[in-house]
Chain A
Amino acid sequence: MPIWLDDFLWTYQTLIHSLGINGLLALSMYVVLAVGQLSLGQAAFMGLGAYTGALLSLHTGLPFALVLAGSAVVPVLAAAAVGLPTLRLTGVYLAIATIGLGEVLRVIYVNAEITGGALGLGGIPGRSATWIILLLLAGALGGVWLVGRSRFGRAMEAMRGDQTAAAVIGVNVPAYHLGALLASAALAGVAGALSAHSSTFISPDDYAFEAAVTILSFAILGGIGSPLGPVVGALVLTLLPELLRPLHDFRGVFNGLIIVLVVLFLPRGILPWPMTRLRKPL
């Protein structure tokens, strides 16, 4: 590796890590939005993954790959508990239940002994190498892209346009909703574990309401025309506060404002182009 590249990676390691992790989080949000649902539990799933991963690393000698797998499974279980009853109902039920999940998990982290209470968990080994993060992001992006181009993607696009019409032509809408929610929980969980092993310290406030809104703002800014949109949104919203230091203190205001402005004035996001397909649909 050339010296300048090594220097660059070392200097900007934290930033590159958070770019990759936020990209994964944005993708996890995309997967749910792509079927026309809204989950506000991405921060909660991320937190579950982070705590699961941190506890596995601290208390067992499992290899990192298995730690990451565990961090994907636990949020998936939580998503199933919340998603199974709500996904047959209208979209607002899932949104409400997932906000509730985030709040209740925060209370548990604060009160439970094993999670270190309000002070959080420290001393997590820094096992998230840059290449692991970027590889997982690329893999997830490729995977979501391929699914989007398949017949599943077409079904997802159909139900985003009109759920009833999609159901009438034989798309099993609830199954897609559940599948998307579980996949998104797994992605967010892995992102959470990666971030815990990158920052080496986690606390309950990292996964609260503000984090949930921030993750949504990535996807909303980028637009959900293609999976690339949310990842670009995450890139922009992660880099901006670094480039414009004053913005750092106003992050809450800024991310909130982004959502309001984009939904009101650019309902399709900054990258509205739909995905291209190999074969044109009929």
Chain B
Amino acid sequence: MFAQQLANGLVLGATYALFALGFTLMVGVLRVINLTYGFYFTLGALVALAGCRDLGLSLWLALPLGMLAAGLAAVIIDTALLTPLRRARAPELASLMVTLGAVLLLYSVLSMGLGTEIRRFPLGTLPAGAVMLGEVRLGAAQILIVVTTLVMVLGLWVLLSRTRLGLALRAVAENPDAASLMAISVPRMVMATSLLSGVLAGAAGVLIGLNQNAIQPYMGETMMLRGFAVIIIGGLGDVRGAVAAGLVLGVAEVMAAGYIDSMVKDGVAFTLMVLVLWLKPAGLLGRARVTRA
């Protein structure tokens, strides 16, 4: 019983980590809380769903399609809305406000065009069987989520720490002006970050959409609460912290639902977030830059 709970918690935590990966990358490199992130998540899920349902594609084609669509949307929206503000060196709260207005606009357009009813992936998108590990049961969607999260985290880690692109991205995160003096094209790095984050959001949207099998325009918005909690608990812009915080949050939610009351589950993220803000505002791993006024 406990082992199954723990496994469920870790899978849920993996979805949170997967969701927060791109979000924290955006915060870390671009230094902006981009609220349109939840929209890319929704978009990835909707595009993959359309691919599977209307075009009859297999999941292995629909997934990259969803990721690509979300990545492109992220680049376009960032270039249209945030690049002018970056150029004008506007305060970070201005960028936050723009993305806030934009995300309401995008969700409203989406739900006017598609309606808010719940859509589902066709049966047989994923094999129906389950794997038993001892007494722990894992479904196909859950295994897919855990594997993808592992691959993405490893891939992101290799990219950031072992490649020249990663070095350039870290340089931009550290100090955009100094990076541009080192002949790094900051606008190009900004686009690369947006593309990467959007792709990660799209992947999370498809997989989490498959797991919950309930896709509707506002699904990204519901997920954002967890996203905020994860990036605060893990430390703003800290990729390792986001993974750790996602897992902690997932396990905590499942345990709260299992051993206290299922109603408590939705309050866990916020409670943990406020606790971390009170006790350790730099995040669990404590590496984030915190500027005190």
Contacts and interface: CB of A to CB of B under 8 A. Distances in A.
Contact of B104 (A101, A108, A213): A213
B245 interface: no
Contacts, number: 138
B291 A38 contact: no
B96 A264 contact: no
Interface string A192-203: 000000000000
A91 interface: yes
B174 to A, nearest CB: 17
Contact of B97 (A177, A250, A263): A263
Interface stretch (B139-147, B149-157, B195-203, B225-233): B225-233
Interface residues of A, number: 52
Most buried by B among A92, A99, A163, A258: A92
Nearest to A107: B266
B101 interface: yes
Contacts of A22: none
B134 interface: no
B96 A38 contact: yes
B281 A263 contact: no
A176 to B, nearest CB: 10
Contacts of A267: 90, 94
B98 A259 contact: yes
Interface stretch (A53-61, A80-88, A139-147): A80-88
Contacts of A99: 224-225, 228
A252 B39 CA distance: 15
B98 A264 contact: yes
Interface stretch (B54-62, B121-129, B208-216, B268-276): B268-276
A39 to B, nearest CB: 11
A132 interface: no
A97 B277 contact: yes
A100 B90 contact: no
A120 interface: no
Interface string B86-123: 00001111101110111111111100100000000000
Given A81-B274, A93-B281, A174-B293, A38 B81 contact: no
A3 interface: no
A90 B293 CA distance: 7
Interface residues of B, number: 45
B92 A264 contact: no
Nearest to B108: A252
B278 interface: yes
Nearest to A208: B221
Nearest to B267: A104
A256 B278 contact: no
B290 interface: yes
Most buried by B among A36, A40, A220, A256: A256
Nearest to A91: B93
A107 B268 CA distance: 11
A40 B228 contact: no
A277 to B, nearest CB: 25
B260 interface: no
Contacts of A163: 293
Contacts of B281: 85-86, 88-89, 93
18 contacts: A37-B93, A40-B100, A85-B274, A85-B278, A88-B281, A89-B291, A90-B92, A93-B281, A95-B96, A163-B293, A213-B100, A252-B105, A253-B108, A255-B104, A256-B108, A259-B100, A260-B101, A263-B85
Interface of B: 33, 81, 84-85, 90-94, 96-98, 100-109, 112, 221, 224-225, 228-229, 231-232, 236, 263, 266-267, 269-270, 273-274, 277-278, 281, 290-293
CB-based closest 5 A-B pairs: A259-B101, A252-B108, A256-B105, A256-B104, A104-B270
